[in-house]
Chains A and B, each alone.
Chain A
Amino acid sequence: MTTTSESPATETPPEVGQARLRKEDRRLLTGRTRWTDNLILPGMVHLSVLRSPVAHATITSIDTEEARAATGVVGVWTGEDLPEQGAMPTAWTVSEDMLTPPLLPISVGTVKHVGDIVAVVAATSKEAADDALELIDVDYDEQPVVVDPVAARAEGSPLVHPDLGTNVAATWGMDSVTLGTGGDAAEAIRAAQADPDQVVVRRTLRQNRITPAYMEPRSIVVDPTSEQVTLWSATQVPHIVRILMAMTQPIEEHELRVVAPDVGGGFGGKLQFTREEALVLLVARRLQIPVKYTESRTESMQSSHHARDQVQEMTLAARRDGTITALDVDLTADMGAYLGILTAGIPLLGGFMFNGIYKIPAYSFHCTDVFTHKVMTDAYRGAGKPEATFGIERMMDELATELDLDPIEVRRRNWITPEEFPFATAAGLTYDSGNYDQATDRALEMFRYDELRAEQQRRRESGDPVQLGIGVCTFVELSGLAPSRVLGGLNYGSGGWEHSSIRMLPTGKVEVVAGTTPHGQGHATAFAQIVSDELGIPFDDIILISGDTASSHKGMDTYGSRSLVVGGMAVVGAARKVVEKARPIAAHMLEANVDDLEYQRGRFSVAGTDSGIMLSEIALGTWLAHDLPDGIEPNLDSDCTFDPENFSFPTGTHLAAVEVDTRTGRVALRDYVCVQDVGVVVNPMIVDGQVHGGLAQGIAQALYEEILYTEDGQLTTGTLADYLVPAASDLLAFRTDTTVTEATTNTLGVKAVGETGTTAAPPAIVNGVLDALRPLGVEDITMPCTPLKVWTAIQEARSGSGAHDEGSRS
C-alpha cells in the first residue's frame, strides 16, 4: 500500500514546551473522583486502630472482651492475636552499624511513641469500630521518655529500645579524602584557625520537625475475595507496597495486586509501606471479607511519618576574600522510635549536597541517626536535601556577615562557573550543567535588589519599627532518583530505573503505560505531550495508564523528582522502539527500501518524494497483519526500562524580601522571586504549579509549621488547628522565571522541578529574617520563625542577654 498522507503534526509546533491544559482536570473538577475512601464493597467492614496515648510504656494487660461483645464488632485483635504478622521492613541498610528495632504491625508488649498501635477492631460501621476502641482496657506501665535527639545520644539517656543498648541507630560519613575529591577538612580547618588571613565560622543550626500534611488522609481497602488479593491504598508507591508486603507478610507477590487510585497529594508522606496497610490485609484475609481503614487527620498527625528534625553542627573555613577552604558537617538526625523504609538514609541524601553549588576544596560529613520516642521520620519533598541546602545557605550568609561581604558576592566567589561543567563535586557527584550567574542576574533584576537595599538602609537609619530583610538562596537539588549502581553502592534496597510500555491501538490511539504513580503532578498531560512529539499522534488521542500493579506491571513509582527525568525517558525509549518496529513495515507498505525512509513526528516518508505514511496507519496495518513482511511480528507495542546514568541537577536563585515588625515579631512576606533552571521545560504551567507548591511548603517550614512534643512525648500539634499549614492569606504571589541549561544526561534535556521550592525557600526566608534583625543584635532564630520566637530574639538581643534562642554560636 502506498499513501501520500500529509503529516499535520510536522507543521504544528511541538507539544513539548506548551502550557497544555491538563487532561486530569475534568474528572477532578466535576467530583468524579476515585479516592480510596470512596470504595464500598459488598460485606465490607471497617477497621479502627487503638493507639497508645503515652510515649513509652510496657503493656501489662489488654482486655478486649467488652469490645468483642459490642454492637457491630466482628473482631478485635492485639499483636498476640495476630501471630502471622510479619516484621515491618526497612529498605535501606545505611551502614554496618545500623540497628533496626523490631516493628510489628501491632506492637506487642511495649509502645514507643504516642500513636503506636496497640490493637485493631473490625466492625460493620466505622462508628461501631470507633466506639469499640473505647471499650478496650489497656494497662500502660509508663517508662522514661526522651524526645530530644541530642539528649538521646548522650550517656545516661533513657533508651528507646533497651534491647539495643543504645539510641544510636546508625552512623555514616563521607569525606573528600576518601572520595579522592579533595583535601582533609579537619586539617584545613585547623590550618584556617591558625591563619590570620582565614576565618572559621561555626554554627549550630536546627531543622524543625514537620509533617507532609497531604490533604487526603491515608485510606486502605483490601478485597481478599478476588483472584489476586486487591489492596487499594492512597499511596505514592503501589509497586513498593506490593513487594514489601509480599516479602514481609504472609502473602506471595503474585497473589497481590496493589492499586493507587486517585491519590490526594503525597509529597513523600505517602512514600511508605505502612503498618496499617499490613493490618488491613491481615484482617481481611482472616475474615475473608473486604476491609477498609481510613485514618482521621489526628491519626495522620500521630502516626504517618514526620520529616526533617536534625541538629546540624556546621563549620566553614574561608579566606578573608570569602573563598571557602573547608566545610565540615556533623549531623544528629532524629529517626523517631522506629525506622520506616528510608528513615535512616534520608540525612545521607543530604550528605551529598551540603557543598551546594560551590567549589569546596575539603569536605567532611558525619551523621548520627538517633532514636527518640516520637513518630518515625522519613521522606518529605526534598528528603535530606532541603536540610543540606539550609545548612550551607545559612552558613554562606553567616560567612558574609563575618567578612562584611554582600551575601550574593560571597556566593559568586565560590560557585561553579559555566565553563567548569561538567563538575566533579567534593561529595563525589558530577553536576552536568548550570549557569548560576545567569539565574542570579535575572533574579536580582526582577527583585529590584538595589532598590530594596536602599529601602532597607532608610528603614535602619530612621529606626523604623518594621525592618526589611533580604534573604538569598542559591542552590542545586539532587533529583531524578536514581542511577541504580549508585543506589547499589549505598546499599539502598532497590534500583532506580523506570519502565514504560506503549500500546499502539488499531484505531490510531495510544495507551502509555508507566511505572510512575502520579498524585497531582500532571503525568497524563506531560507524558502525552512527549509521546505526541515522538509518534506524531494527536495529544487528545493518548491516554496514560498508571498506578495499578496489574496494568503498570513494572515500576518504581513517584518520588525524588524522578517521574519526568527517569519515567519520561522510559516513555521516550518505548516510543522510539515503536518507531523502529514500524520502520520495516512502513518500508513494506510504501514499497520502498528501509534505508530510503525518513521519519519525523509520526510520518515515514521516502526520501526525495512526497510518498509517506502515518504511524497510526501502520498501527492498523500491523493489527490487520494481512500483508506484513516475512519474519515481522504483528505488533508495534514496545517497552523500555530506563536506568539513568546520573542524577539530575536543577538549580536556582531565590530572593525573599520580608518585613519584620519588631514590635510583634510578625514576619510578613513582601516579595519572593525565584529564577530556576530545570532544563528543558515540557509544560511551563505544570512547572509553575510545582514551583509554587514547593515554595509554599518551604516558606511554611520557615515561618509556620512545627511538630511539637512535650518532654514526656505528648504530641501537642496533633490537628490542623495546631499545626499551621498555610492558607492563601499566609502566602503571597510568587514571581518566577526560568533559565535553561539542558541536562546532558538524558535526551529530553530535562532536569526535574518537584522538590526545588521546599529545598530553597527555608534558607531564603530565614536569611531574610536575620538580615532584617542583625543590626539589632539578633544572630540566629530557629525555624519556624514565629512571632513569639522573633519577638523573644529581639528582646534578648536588646537586653544583651543572648542574641539567639536555641541556635548557638561556638
Chain B
Amino acid sequence: MERMNHMAHVSLTVDGLTQTHDVEPRTLLVHHLRETLGKTGTVVGCDTSNCGACTVLLDGESVKSCTILAVQADGATVETVAGLADPDGTLHPVQQAFHQHHGLQCGYCTPGMLMRSVCLVRENPEPTEDEVREGIKGNMCRCTGYQGIVDAVMAYAETSRTEEAGR
C-alpha cells in the first residue's frame, strides 16, 4: 500500500549557509540539523526538553532545538556550535573561556552550554555567579558539577565587556 508523505519545504540558513529541503512535518529541528544538514555537533540528550544539549541560536535567541519543528524554523537563521569558531580555526571567546576554565569533560552538554552562554551574556553582560547559575539552569551537565562552566561563563562575560569597552 502506497502512502503519500506530505512533505514540507524548509529553508534554513545554518552557520552562514542557506539550504532548502523537503521534510516530514513532524521532524524536529535537532534531527533536521543532525541528519540532513550534517550538524552533528548539536546533540540530543533527552526527550522532554529538560537537558538543553540541543540548544542552538534561532534568529539570535537560544532555543532548545528539540522543542521546535523544522517547519517552524523555515526562513530563520540558525547558529550552531559548528559555526562559532572562525574559519581559520580561531576559537570564539566563549570556546576559549570554556577551554581555559575546564568547562567541559565529556563534551556532550558543551554545544548547548556554549550557545546558551552566548545568548546569556549578550542579554546580561555583567552577570553575577548566581545569575549565571540561573541562566544556565536549562542546560544539564553530569560531568563538571557546573563549577568550571560557571567560571568559564563569568570569564567570557568579562572578556566580552573588555572587548566592547575597547571599541
Contact = CB atoms under 8 A, between A and B. Distances in A.
Contacts of A296: 47
B141 interface: yes
Interface in A1-45: 21-22, 24-33, 35, 37-38, 40
Contacts, number: 183
A214 interface: yes
A520 interface: yes
Given A31-B111, A265-B142, A686 B102 contact: yes
A784 interface: no
B165 interface: no
A591 interface: no
Ranked nearest first, the 5 interchain pairs of A and B with the lowest CB-CB distance are A31-B41, A264-B108, A28-B107, A520-B106, A692-B145
B45 A733 contact: no
Interface stretch (A47-55, A107-115, A526-534, A717-725): A717-725
B110 to A, nearest CB: 6
Interface string A656-698: 0000000000000000000000000000011011011111110
A682 B132 CA distance: 30
A777 interface: no
A720 B3 CA distance: 35
Interface string A693-708: 1111100000000000
B82 interface: yes
B12 interface: no
Given A214-B108, A216-B43, A728-B141, 8 more contacts: A21-B99, A21-B102, A26-B99, A215-B142, A217-B45, A692-B145, A693-B145, A727-B133
B84 interface: yes
B7 interface: no
A263 B82 CA distance: 19
Interface residues of B, number: 58
A719 B104 contact: no
Contacts of A521: 105
B102 A31 contact: no
B105 A719 contact: no
Contacts of A21: 99-100, 102
Interface string B38-52: 011111111110110
Nearest to B41: A31
A25 B91 CA distance: 11
29 contacts: A21-B100, A25-B107, A28-B107, A29-B91, A31-B41, A32-B41, A127-B24, A215-B45, A215-B142, A263-B106, A265-B106, A265-B108, A520-B105, A520-B106, A521-B105, A686-B102, A693-B143, A696-B146, A719-B46, A721-B50, A725-B140, A727-B137, A727-B140, A728-B132, A728-B133, A728-B141, A731-B146, A733-B129, A734-B145
Contacts of A802: none
A728 B151 CA distance: 12
Given A721-B48, A728-B132, A693 B24 contact: no
A297 interface: yes
Interface of A: 21-22, 24-33, 35, 37-38, 40, 71, 127, 212-217, 262-265, 267, 296-298, 519-522, 685-686, 688-689, 691-697, 719-721, 725, 727-731, 733-734, 757
A31 B82 contact: yes
Contacts of B85: 29-30
Contacts of A520: 105-107, 143
Given A29-B114, A262-B107, A298-B47, A267 B102 contact: no
Interface of B: 3, 24, 26, 34-35, 39-48, 50-51, 53, 80-82, 84-85, 91, 95, 98-100, 102, 104-111, 114, 129-130, 132-134, 136-150
Contacts of B48: 297, 719-721
B53 A215 contact: yes
Most chain A CB within 10 A, of B47, B81, B95, B105, is at B105
Contacts of B91: 26, 29-30
B39 to A, nearest CB: 7
A692 B145 CA distance: 5
Given A31-B81, A71-B3, A689-B105, A297 B46 contact: yes
Given A28-B110, A298-B47, A721-B48, A689 B84 contact: no
A29 B143 contact: no
A753 to B, nearest CB: 13
A733 B142 contact: no
A692 B26 CA distance: 39
Nearest to B136: A728
A28 B24 CA distance: 30
